[in-house]
Structure 1
Amino acid sequence: MKMSYVAFCLLLALLLGETQVSMGITCNPLELSACASAITSSSAPSAACCSKLKEQRPCLCQYVKNPNLKKLVDSPNARNVANTCGTPFPQC
Structure 2
Amino acid sequence: MKLTGAISMAFLIVLVLSLALTNAAMEDEKVLSCNPKELSPCSPAVKTGSKPSTECCAMLKKEKPCLCGYVNDPVYGQYIKSKNAHKAFSACGIPPLSC
In the alignment, is the contact (CA less than 8 A) between 1:57 and 1:89 conserved in 2? no
Structure-2 separation of matches of 1:39 and 1:69: 11
Structure-1 separation of matches of 2:40 and 2:92: 15
Shift of 1:45: 0.4
| Residue number in structure 2 paired with 1:3 | none
Shift of 1:46: 0.4
RMSD, aligned CA = 1.6
Output the amino acid matched with 1:50.
C
Structure-1 separation of matches of 2:30 and 2:97: 15
Superposition pairs for residues 66-85 of structure 1, below 5 Å?
66-85=73-92
Q: TM-score, normalised by structure 1?
A: 0.72
Unpaired segments ≥5 residues, structure 1:
1-20
Equivalent position SS for 1:27: coil
Seq. identity, %: 40
| Residue number in structure 2 paired with 1:11 | none
Structure-2 separation of matches of 1:35 and 1:65: 19
Q: TM-score, normalised by structure 2?
A: 0.67
Equivalent position SS for 1:88: coil
| Residue number in structure 2 paired with 1:39 | 46
Structure-1 separation of matches of 2:58 and 2:93: 10
Shift of 1:74: 1.0
Structure-2 separation of matches of 1:22 and 1:88: 24
Unpaired segments ≥5 residues, structure 2:
1-27
Output the amino acid matched with 1:86.
G
Structure-2 separation of matches of 1:79 and 1:23: 27
Bigger Cα Rg: 2
> Residues 23 and 91 (structure 1 numbering): CA distance in 2 closer, same or farther, change over 3 Å?
farther
